[in-house]
């Protein structure tokens, strides 16, 4: 009916529902349930079985995959992860995102840029999403340590995966999935050459981790330290709209 207000799924009524579980996590949840039932039903060890059953619910919750409403803005750089903005710093992009890799496709330019780091606890959604729409130009996996992902040096020492996306206008955004103390696996959903939409699912990191986003030189972060962000919904920055804070202050 003309004038009817619809939700993000095209429905006329809005209602809360349990978020779906990503297929990557169903096997882990079912294994945990199976082990807990063995202790409860076969061994009758309730002191172990009930805590394991509660842990099974936690495993399913960890892999929840809620729908997100992506902002319609050509210049928006979206948060690729749910979590806490733990670091904002001026840094050089990682070498893997800058160097000539022999493909003939340019990487990120040299020079300091703003890096926004988003820390994901075990309670956050761990599905990562594309900050912009475009083509996956690089997907570089690097083995490493499993330090606390909240530490600044985790960007250079931990197991990580760099992703470079190029828009149709040539703008390139790099971001990095970083494993943490508990996270032991970075799972990509995309490969080099794939075309992704803004806010599209691109991968996940199991059990607590961090994602770094490298903003282009002509942008400034629109988020603050300590702010919680939502993957695919929160706008980290607007391209081509750098904030001249010094001029505003004057």
Nearest CA among 68, 84, 79, 78 for reference residue 228? 84
CA angle 77, 111, 236 (to 5 degrees): 15
Please say whether the beta carbons of 179 and 204 come within 8 A.
no
Which burial class, exposed, middle or buried, applies to 153 when counting CB atoms under 10 A from its CB (0-12, 13-18, 19+)? exposed
Q: Name the CA dihedral angle for 36, 39, 45, 46, rounded to a multiple of 10 degrees.
A: 30
Q: How many CB atoms lie within 10 A of CB 175?
A: 28
- Between CA 226 and CA 215 the distance in angstroms is 18
DSSP character at residue 94 = P
Contact 207, 62 (CB under 8 A): yes
Give me the catalytic one of 56, 155, 198, 209. 209
Q: Which of 54, 49, 58 is nearest to 182 (CA)?
A: 58
Is 86 part of the annotated catalytic residue set? Answer: no
Determine the Cα–Cα distance for residues 106 and 139; give it in Å rounded to an integer.
14
Residues annotated as catalytic are: 209
């Amino acid at each position: 009916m003309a004038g009817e207000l619809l939700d993000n799924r095209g429905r006329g009524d809005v209602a809360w529902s349990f978020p779906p579980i990503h297929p990557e996590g169903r096997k882990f949840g079912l294994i945990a349930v199976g082990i807990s039932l063995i202790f409860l039903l076969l061994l009758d060890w309730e002191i172990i079985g009930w805590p394991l059953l509660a842990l099974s619910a936690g495993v399913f919750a960890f892999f929840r995959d809620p729908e997100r409403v992506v902002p319609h803005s050509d210049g928006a750089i979206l948060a690729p992860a749910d979590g806490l903005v733990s670091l904002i710093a001026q840094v050089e992009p990682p070498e893997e995102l800058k160097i000539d890799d022999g493909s003939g496709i340019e990487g990120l330019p040299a020079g300091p840029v703003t890096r926004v780091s988003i820390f994901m606890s075990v309670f956050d959604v761990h599905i990562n999403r594309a900050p912009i729409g475009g083509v996956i130009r690089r997907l570089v996996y690097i083995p490493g340590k499993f330090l606390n992902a909240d530490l600044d040096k985790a960007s250079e020492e931990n197991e990580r995966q760099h992703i470079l996306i190029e828009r149709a206008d040539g703008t390139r955004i790099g971001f990095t999935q970083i494993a943490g103390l508990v996270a032991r696996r970075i799972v990509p959903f995309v490969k080099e050459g794939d075309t992704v939409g803004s806010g599209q699912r691109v991968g996940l990191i199991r059990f607590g981790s961090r994602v770094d986003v490298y903003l282009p030189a002509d942008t400034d972060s629109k988020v603050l330290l300590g702010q919680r962000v939502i993957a695919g919904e929160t706008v980290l920055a607007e391209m081509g709209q750098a904030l001249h804070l010094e001029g505003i202050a004057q």
